[in-house]
Each structure stands twice: as C-alpha cells, then as structure tokens.
C-alpha cells in the first residue's frame, strides 16, 4: 500500500506542514520508495509511495492540477484504466506513461465527485479543492484500502493508518470498546468508529467532505445494484458471472513482480487459482500456489463430511495446470503467536483466529520475497461464491434476536 496523510488547520494558523511530515514519517514502513509533500498555509498533504504496479514509476504525488486548484494524494489501484482513458479521450501512448494516481486526478477534474462511481479497483484518496476550501476523503466500496481521520480543536488530520495520527502528541492513544465488542462477536464493522478512541474511519463506499468551518459530512456513494429476477434457466447469469470473474482475475495480474496465490481445498481460492493459471499460461507465465497442510506425523481427526488435509484436493487442481508450481506449507518451524506483535504493528487489527494467523503469516512471507509480487487470495469468497447465509446469525445474536 501507499501511505497518504494530511493536516488542515481551520484557525488559519501555520504548523500544518510539520505535523503532516510527522505523520508521513510514521507511515514510511508502508511506502518506502518515495516521499512527497505539498503545503499551502494552513493545509498540507503528504504521500509515502510504494511502487507495486508497472506504471508506479511515473508516480510523483502529491499531484496538482494545472490551474493549482486541485491537489490529490492517493493509495490507488485502478482495474479499469482502459475504460477510463476511453471516456477521457486519452491516447494509448499517454495512458502507458500515467500512474493510476494521474488517471484518478484526470477523472476528478472531468467529473468531480461523480467520478467515484466510474472507478473500479481499490482506492483511498484525498482531494483538496482550494477554490471551494473543501477537503474530500474517499474510500472504495469494499474498504480494501484504509483511511482514518481525527478532528482536534481547530484542526483535522487524516492518515492511511492510525499510527500516523498517533504520531501527533495531541491525539490520544486508547481503545474503542464498542468496536472491540462487535469485533469479538464476529460482527462486521458498522459506522465510522475504529478500534481507537477519537479516531474515525472513512467507511467503505463513503466519502467525507470537510468544510472550512470544521463541519464533517459523510456521504454514502456506493449503492449495491438491484437484485436480478430469478430465471427458469440460470445459464445467462452463469455466463455473465464467469465473464466478470475472468476479467477481475485478469486485472489483478498487473504487477512488477511474480504472481502467486493461496490454494485451499475449497471453492473460492480454487476458482481464482484455476482462472489465473489459464490466463498466465496463455502469456507463457507461471503461477506459484501455496497450500497450508498439517505437519507430517500429526494424528488428524476426521469428522463426518469434512477433510482435515486440504493439500490432497489442492494438489489435484494444481496437477491439471502445468504452469502451477505447488508449494505445501506446514509452518513446522513456527509457533502460534510468534509474530503477533509484528503483525499487529503493521496491520493495526486485533487477531481473532491465531491458528489461521499462523499459516496466513507464513504464506505472506514466502510470497512477499520481492516487492511488487501479487498474492491472489479469493478474499470475500464466503460472501460470494460459497455463500451459505450463515453470517446473518451473528447479527441476530448480537441484537438479541437469535430466535428470529
């Protein structure tokens, strides 16, 4: 990820630039490739860039419009670059030398906040409009890229990660108990609260507008599409889902490094892995697939209708694709919780399942040997490909309505 940050003093006092620089230094672990900043009196924006995409070598954030009115910093990966370029009437040669942040600025200049609906990908970005004296913070609809803010006495600051805001002495460090309670109940995060007291998050699918008088207005920009009618023959839906799924996987193969994936014995990662393998094979490229398996010699329970070793099914899928290099990961040299502090420092999210955290951490380390590598994971598959509707039970339980 790329770290972005900013500070705006509503009282017109100076000091925004030093505070923004302090936040930026705290975010340096997320963006080691380039540091950039911009300041104009009471407002300052900063960026700590991580070059993960081929076009990132052209990224020179913060970006400023030709008339100086708009300034943008962004943590962004756009998966519909060609569609946006066509709508903007950009030549293919120009697009090839534009970072995703440059393309994002062009879309904002063309359509303003209405541009958000045109974006497909992962993004968290901030736009300063000097003429309107307005700061806008935007986040993608799933919430893949983080963005937090804190409103103090006469000022507001934002950062990709909370540790950036905590770098300022006036921001208190304490846990938000309500958010932790919901998290322990396995409920999805709702509202603008974060795990930290007095620090709010830009909710997924929202943008936050901040005015010169300190007013903060959160607007939901994403609305899920309407449900489609049932068909006696679902074949058209199946064909469309496959086409969209293949486009989604293809978009994630844009990288400066190697492509790898997690591969379990389930439906979600298997669908991603098979699709990626087919697409990479057409380009003469290979795919490394990681599967977590039990340690050798450990006795396994075999409950009815379950299989304790997913490696068997994963190996069968990998064998069907000659360009897959299959790696079994048993984490034998690891202990549960041995890197918990390190993972918490980087992710800032409490761990719930320490057993899964162990193998996830191990695969991440193996796949992340080179910056720019892409690890396909099949995230959110339990809510899409293999959704059984069980997640609703947690919400009913938490609300005291389980019998409903």
Q: What is the pLDDT of residues 256-279, one digit of tens each?
A: 889 999 999 989 999 999 999 999
In a domain, 180, yes or no: yes
- Please report the pLDDT score of residue 115 as a whole number: 97
Q: Are residues 193 and 253 located together in one domain of the fold? A: no
Please list the residues that pair with 69 across neighbouring strands.
none
Check which CATH number belongs to the domain holding 36 and give it.
3.60.20.10
Same domain flag for 186 and 109: yes
Partners of 330 in the beta sheet?
none
Residues 197 and 291 in one domain: no
Report which of 375, 53, 83 is spatially closest to residue 247, judged by C-alpha positions. Answer: 83
Does residue 123 form part of some domain? Answer: yes
> What tens digit of pLDDT does each residue of 10-36 get?
988 878 999 999 999 999 999 999 999
Same domain for 134 and 253? Answer: no
Burial of 178 (0-12, 13-18, 19+ CB in 10 A): exposed
- Considering the domain architecture, whether residues 372 and 343 belong to the same structural domain is answered as yes
Same-domain check for residues 257 and 193 = no
Contacts for 22 with CB less than 8 Å, ≥ 6 apart: 167, 168
| Confidence class for position 178, pLDDT limits 50, 70, 90 | very high
State the total domains in the chain: 2
Q: What is the arrangement of strands in the sheet containing 148-151, beginning at the earlier edge strand? A: 34-40, 43-49, 3-9, 155-159, 148-151, 200-201
In-domain check, residue 286? yes
For tokens 């890197």, what's the residue?
A: 339
**178 neighbors 193 (Cβ within 8 angstroms):** yes
Looking at the structure, tell me whether residues 284 and 213 fall in a common domain: no
Q: Is the dihedral of CA 266, 272, 277, 278 positive or negative?
A: positive
Asked whether residue 306 is domain-assigned, the answer is yes
Are residues 287 and 180 both part of a single domain? no
Statement to judge: residues 146 and 284 lie in one domain: no
Parent domain of 296 = 235-383
Q: Which of 139, 156, 138 is nearest to 212 (CA)?
A: 156
In tens, the pLDDT along 372-383 reads 789 999 887 777
Considering the domain architecture, whether residues 168 and 43 belong to the same structural domain is answered as yes
Statement to judge: residues 16 and 52 lie in one domain: yes
pTM: 0.92
What CATH number does residue 327 fall under? 3.40.50.620
Domain check: are 379 and 356 in the same one? Answer: yes
How many C-beta atoms lie closer than 10 Å to residue 277's C-beta?
25
Residues in the chain: 404
């Amino acid at each position: 990820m790329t770290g972005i940050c900013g500070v705006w003093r509503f009282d017109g006092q100076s000091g925004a630039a030093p505070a923004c620089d302090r936040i930026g230094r705290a975010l340096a672990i997320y963006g080691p490739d380039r540091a950039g900043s911009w300041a104009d009196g009471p407002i300052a924006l900063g960026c700590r860039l991580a070059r993960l995409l081929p076009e990132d070598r052209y990224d020179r954030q913060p970006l400023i419009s030709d008339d100086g009115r708009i300034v943008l910093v962004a943590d962004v990966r756009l998966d519909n670059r060609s569609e946006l370029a066509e709508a903007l009437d950009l030549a293919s040669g120009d697009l090839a030398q534009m970072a995703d942040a440059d393309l994002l600025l062009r879309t904002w200049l063309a359509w303003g906040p209405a541009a958000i609906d045109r974006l497909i990908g992962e993004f968290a970005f901030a736009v300063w409009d000097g003429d309107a004296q307005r700061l806008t913070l935007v986040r993608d609809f799933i919430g893949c890229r983080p963005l937090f803010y804190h409103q103090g006495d006469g000022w507001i600051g934002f950062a990709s990660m909370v540790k950036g805001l905590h770098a300022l002495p006036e921001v208190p460090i304490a846990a938000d108990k309500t958010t932790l309670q919901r998290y322990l109940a396995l409920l999805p995060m709702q509202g603008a609260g974060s795990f930290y007291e007095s620090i709010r998050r830009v909710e997924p699918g929202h943008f936050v507008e901040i005015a010169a008088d300190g007013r903060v207005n959160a607007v939901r920009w994403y609305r899920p599409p309407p449900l489609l009618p049932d068909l006696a023959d679902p074949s058209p839906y199946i064909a469309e889902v496959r086409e969209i799924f293949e486009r989604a996987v293809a978009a994630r193969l844009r990288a400066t490094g190697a492509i790898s994936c997690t591969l379990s014995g389930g439906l979600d990662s298997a669908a991603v892995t098979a699709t990626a393998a087919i697409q990479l094979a057409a380009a003469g490229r290979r795919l490394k697939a990681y599967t977590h398996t039990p340690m050798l010699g450990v006795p396994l329970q075999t409950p009815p209708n379950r299989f304790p070793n997913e490696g068997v099914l994963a190996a069968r899928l990998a064998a069907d694709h000659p360009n897959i290099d299959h790696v079994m990961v048993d984490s034998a040299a690891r202990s549960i919780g041995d890197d918990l502090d390190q993972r918490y420092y980087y992710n800032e999210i409490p761990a719930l399942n320490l057993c899964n955290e162990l193998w996830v951490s191990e695969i991440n380390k193996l796949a992340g040997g080179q910056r720019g590598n892409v690890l396909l994971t099949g995230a959110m598959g339990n809510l899409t490909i293999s959704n059984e509707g069980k997640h609703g039970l947690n919400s009913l339980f938490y609300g005291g309505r389980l019998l409903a």
